[in-house]
Amino acid sequence: MEKICVAVRVRPPVSQDSSAGTYWNVGDNRISLHKLHGTPISGLSYAFDYVFDESCTNAQVYELLTKDIIHAAVEGFNGTAFAYGQTSSGKTFTMNGSANDPGIIHLAVEDIFRKIQIMSDREFLIRVSYMEIYNEEINDLLSLENQKLQIHESLERGIFVAGLKEEIVNNAEQVLQLIESGEVNRHFGETNMNVRSSRSHTIFRMVIESRGKDTKSSDRYSSNDAIRVSVLNLVDLAGSERIAKTGIGGVRLKEGKYINKSLMILGNVINKLSEGAKQRGHIPYRDSKLTRILQPALGGNAKTSIICTVAPEEVHIEETKGTLQFASRATRITNCAQVNEVLTDAALLKRQKLEIEELRKKLQGSRAEVLEQEILKLRNEMLKYELEREKLEMQLEEERRSHKECNQCIREQQMKIENLSSLVTFSDYDRNSSQEQKSKRESPEEESGDSSSKCQGDIFRTPCFKAAPKNFVVRRSNYSNLSEYSPLPDSFSNVVDEDTWFKMNKGYKADLDLLQMISVASARKVQSFPLSDLTLTPVPLYENCKQELENLKRQLEIISEEKNELQRKHTEQILLNDRLMKEISELKHEAEIIQEIPERLRESVASCKEIYEDVVSTVQYVASNRESSAAKLLCGTREIGRALLSTLETHFLIVLNGHKPFHANFVSQEQYKELSERLKSTLISLVASETPIMKNKQVKNPQCSCNSKVAAWSQLSRSFMILFSIIIMGYIVSFFKILIL
């Protein structure tokens, strides 16, 4: 975003005797109104980008105000320079100039071609057009046929005047000639204010197209396929005028009305644009052809400069003030100019490729390396932190361990102090008994048996550590249960000094020997014990402690051994458990097989029953006389066999259904044996008794017939025996297996 460049130019006074110059004071890009005697008028001082006094030439104005816009137009930016001011203030003079002082347009045209010559890396195509807005109608000044042209807008061309003649030009002279020819067609008129007053707004337009010549150019904006198109408008507005002053009527009056109206709309647009983006709301560009054509130059995509011309005469003070206010508002307008390029598909593709390549290079180059280095750095830092953390953890663990040990040590020391204290506390109370003990120590034969029993018997006496350390340890653990007994002395200062106590509480590992010495010294200080006792008492205490420690160590070893043993047993149990589980699964499998046995047996019995039926029927058929004893016996035997087999079948069914067989009704093995023996003997006797009868009846080959019958009966008997034996044995075996399961 850039602001519009606004300048004010004060033309020279028209008449020499005028004192106008004394009213407006110009200096430091500021113009202010003064009273006749030179006193500034408050509130009527204006600052602009440039303020040109009457001595300035058009060349100076061009150099300072317009040159940059013209050069930018050659490079692809839209540009607009226009002159605004009351009638006869010098607008046309500024834009068109005179023979001695060429105007902005003239200078711009020459400058453009000069610049093009310098820019040898690009080739240009320049088109010019010249139009006027007269009475709100657009006329082509280069072609009289093109009158009342219309404004259109398209994406490609933006806002443009349809049908306007555009001449392609190659040099400045050619352009100036065209301008000259166009000037002929322009509307001028004589008024009281200006003998050659512009009655229309004129717009000289140059469309500058260019593209780079160098195909190998590395500049992506210089792609041969990209074409820059910029539009430069150089505008000479008609001047606002007061009807009373200009003294016009008829056609001039009508022209004046159109002029004033369009200028008023231009003022409105400037006002709106000067209000700022939030407040401005709708910009009435479409209210006039002038503002519509100048739309890109006012708050759009263009670099714009306004030269506001003022007349210095006193009679024009009000108009000058109005012009300055207009200019002042215009200074607040911002535009957003950018290079205009028309891209072909090839150019677009080429540019995108170049952009992608650039991005890739950036990514692969510095950025990727930087990222990689950052990752490495972070990784190293992370490892460092990890190591530090581990180190700290180890330190913490070490601290904990030492703290634990210290606590343990303190506890032990406390216990020892307690013991010592108890010794001190009870020393007075037990002095007499100490004397007795002393005497006993002198006779060690009595000590071993009596002292221990005495200590155990009187718990309120000072423990006799030397005599029975283990007992003391046990008894000490019972202190807490004795409500009236406390081993603590009234004051520790009687036992050890404060410094030692403090050290112990802070985890200081006291030297037991030192402690012993302190204890002895303290005891001496207290002077509770006789000297002989004091020298002896701490020694057994120390020994007791050591003994206790040894005991604890042994206990710990035993416990750890027990623990190892338990672990070993646990492992064995697990192995045993696994083995048992395996055996159970195998047994289950076997049980499944065994469970199928009764069913198979039942099937076997059923099939045997059928075979048996067939055999008996066959034999009966052989013994054709149903009334004979053999036939009767057979019938009986069949009934017995059938009953036996049915019984067997029933029992198997009962077992299969999950019930226990009826032992009471069941036929035992002995019964079967007896039954089979009886059957066998019956059959043999039957065969023997039948043999003579058969001999008589059989005429032909009687011996053969008899022998065959005997063999048949024997066979039948054997079959029965085998059959029953198999069935019974099978049944018994399966029955017992089921019972076991």
Q: Which of 66, 80, 87, 427 binds ligand ATP (CB under 6 A)?
A: 87
Beta pairing class for 50-52 and 5-10: parallel
Q: What is the closest distance, in whole angstroms, from the C-beta atom of residue 288 to ligand ATP in the complex?
A: 17
515: burial class by Cβ within 10 Å (0-12, 13-18, 19+)? Answer: buried
Q: What is the closest distance, in whole angstroms, from the C-beta atom of residue 184 to ligand ATP in the complex?
A: 16
| Binding residues with ligand ATP: total (CB under 6 A) | 17
Residues 252-291: x where in contact with ligand ATP by CB under 6 A, - otherwise, as a string: ----------------------------------------
Tokens of 478: 């019972």
Residue ranges in 523-542 that form contacts with ligand ATP under rule CB under 6 A: none
Q: Between 194 and 230, whose beta carbon lies closer to ligand ATP? A: 194
3-class DSSP state of 507 = coil
* Residue 268: C-alpha distances to residues 282, 305, 632 (Å): 11, 18, 146
Tokens of 331: 């200074």
Residue ranges in 467-496 that form contacts with ligand ATP under rule CB under 6 A: none
CA–CA separation, 574 vs 271, rounded Å? 99
713 CB neighbour count, 10 Å cutoff: 22
* Residue 67: C-alpha distances to residues 5, 60, 106, 107, 303 (Å): 12, 10, 12, 9, 11
Tell me whether residue 90 is annotated as binding: yes
Q: Which of 12, 13, 284, 702 binds ligand ATP (CB under 6 A)?
A: 12
The reply to whether 198 sits near ligand ATP by the rule CB under 6 A is: yes
The reply to whether 93 sits near ligand ATP by the rule CB under 6 A is: yes
Asked if 191 contacts 241 with a C-beta cutoff of 8 angstroms, the reply is: yes
Q: Between 78 and 309, whose beta carbon lies closer to ligand ATP? A: 309
Q: Between 313 and 649, whose beta carbon lies closer to ligand ATP? A: 313
Q: What is the closest distance, in whole angstroms, from the C-beta atom of residue 25 to ligand ATP in the complex?
A: 18
Number of H helices, E strands in the chain: 22, 19
The reply to whether 85 sits near ligand ATP by the rule CB under 6 A is: yes
Tell me whether residue 636 is annotated as binding: no
Tell me whether residue 85 is annotated as binding: yes
Bridge partner list, 30: 27, 47
Return the closest-CA partner of residue 33 out of 284, 280, 322.
Answer: 322
Asked if 39 contacts 23 with a C-beta cutoff of 8 angstroms, the reply is: no
Q: Which of 88, 223, 320, 331 binds ligand ATP (CB under 6 A)?
A: 88
Q: Between 90 and 540, whose beta carbon lies closer to ligand ATP? A: 90
Tell me whether residue 92 is annotated as binding: yes
Q: Between 239 and 730, whose beta carbon lies closer to ligand ATP? A: 239
- Going by the DSSP 8-state scheme, the letter that residue 667 receives in this structure is P
CA–CA separation, 630 vs 56, rounded Å? 168
Q: Between 165 and 252, whose beta carbon lies closer to ligand ATP? A: 252
Applying CB under 6 A, the span of 17-25, 84-92, 299-307, 387-395 interacting with ligand ATP comes to 84-92
Q: What is the closest distance, in whole angstroms, from the C-beta atom of residue 279 to ligand ATP in the complex?
A: 32
Asked if 432 contacts 533 with a C-beta cutoff of 8 angstroms, the reply is: no
Q: Between 190 and 436, whose beta carbon lies closer to ligand ATP? A: 190
Q: Which of 6, 51, 62, 91 binds ligand ATP (CB under 6 A)?
A: 91
CA–CA separation, 258 vs 135, rounded Å? 5
Q: Between 93 and 113, whose beta carbon lies closer to ligand ATP? A: 93
Applying CB under 6 A, the span of 192-200, 468-476, 518-526, 630-638 interacting with ligand ATP comes to 192-200
Asked if 186 contacts 254 with a C-beta cutoff of 8 angstroms, the reply is: no
C-alpha 515: how far from its chain's center? 64
CA–CA separation, 143 vs 138, rounded Å? 12
Contacts of 412 (CB under 8 A, 6+ apart): 545
CA angle 273/275/280 to nearest 5° reads 70
How would DSSP label each residue in 264-289?
A: HHHHHHHHHHHT-HHHH----GGGSH
Residue ranges in 16-45 that form contacts with ligand ATP under rule CB under 6 A: none
CA–CA separation, 73 vs 41, rounded Å? 41
Q: Between 39 and 55, whose beta carbon lies closer to ligand ATP? A: 55
Helix H, strand E, coil C: the string for 169-218 is ECCHHHHHHHHHHHHHHCCEECCCCCCCEECCEEEEEEEEEEEECCCCCC
Q: What is the closest distance, in whole angstroms, from the C-beta atom of residue 168 to ligand ATP in the complex?
A: 30
Q: What is the closest distance, in whole angstroms, from the C-beta atom of residue 88 to ligand ATP in the complex?
A: 4
Torsion sign across C-alpha atoms 10, 11, 12, 14:
negative
The reply to whether 134 sits near ligand ATP by the rule CB under 6 A is: no
Q: What is the closest distance, in whole angstroms, from the C-beta atom of residue 91 to ligand ATP in the complex?
A: 4
CA–CA separation, 60 vs 52, rounded Å? 9
Q: What is the closest distance, in whole angstroms, from the C-beta atom of residue 247 to ligand ATP in the complex?
A: 13
Q: What is the closest distance, in whole angstroms, from the C-beta atom of residue 10 to ligand ATP in the complex?
A: 8
Q: Which of 11, 201, 228, 709 binds ligand ATP (CB under 6 A)?
A: 11
Q: Between 89 and 500, whose beta carbon lies closer to ligand ATP? A: 89
The reply to whether 211 sits near ligand ATP by the rule CB under 6 A is: no
Contacts of 322 (CB under 8 A, 6+ apart): 86, 240
Tell me whether residue 86 is annotated as binding: yes
CA–CA separation, 279 vs 256, rounded Å? 32
Residue ranges in 324-383 that form contacts with ligand ATP under rule CB under 6 A: none
For 575-602, b where at least 16 C-beta lie within 10 A, e where not — what string?
A: eeeeeeeeeeeeeeeeeeeebebbeebb
Residue ranges in 303-322 that form contacts with ligand ATP under rule CB under 6 A: 309
Question: In angstroms, what is the C-alpha Rg of the chain?
Answer: 68
Q: Which of 227, 238, 297, 518 binds ligand ATP (CB under 6 A)?
A: 238
Q: What is the closest distance, in whole angstroms, from the C-beta atom of residue 239 to ligand ATP in the complex?
A: 3
Name the residue type at position 681. S
Q: Between 242 and 332, whose beta carbon lies closer to ligand ATP? A: 242
Tell me whether residue 91 is annotated as binding: yes
* Residue 290: C-alpha distances to residues 97, 160, 189, 520 (Å): 22, 12, 20, 120
C-alpha 266: how far from its chain's center? 56
Q: Which of 32, 135, 139, 194 binds ligand ATP (CB under 6 A)?
A: 194
Torsion sign across C-alpha atoms 184, 187, 191, 193:
negative
Q: Between 90 and 102, whose beta carbon lies closer to ligand ATP? A: 90
Applying CB under 6 A, the span of 20-28, 80-88, 155-163, 474-482 interacting with ligand ATP comes to 80-88
Asked if 53 contacts 10 with a C-beta cutoff of 8 angstroms, the reply is: yes
Applying CB under 6 A, the span of 121-129, 194-202, 293-301, 369-377 interacting with ligand ATP comes to 194-202
Q: Which of 197, 202, 320, 462 binds ligand ATP (CB under 6 A)?
A: 197
Applying CB under 6 A, the span of 190-198, 325-333, 391-399, 499-507 interacting with ligand ATP comes to 190-198
Q: Which of 20, 33, 51, 90 binds ligand ATP (CB under 6 A)?
A: 90
Q: Between 61 and 283, whose beta carbon lies closer to ligand ATP? A: 61
Q: Between 246 and 516, whose beta carbon lies closer to ligand ATP? A: 246
Applying CB under 6 A, the span of 191-199, 346-354, 376-384, 415-423 interacting with ligand ATP comes to 191-199
Instruction: Please state the residue numbers annotated as binding site for ATP.
Output: 85-92
Q: Applying CB under 6 A, which residues contact ligand ATP?
A: 11-12, 85, 87-93, 194, 196-198, 238-239, 309
Instruction: Please state the residue numbers annotated as binding site.
Output: 85-92
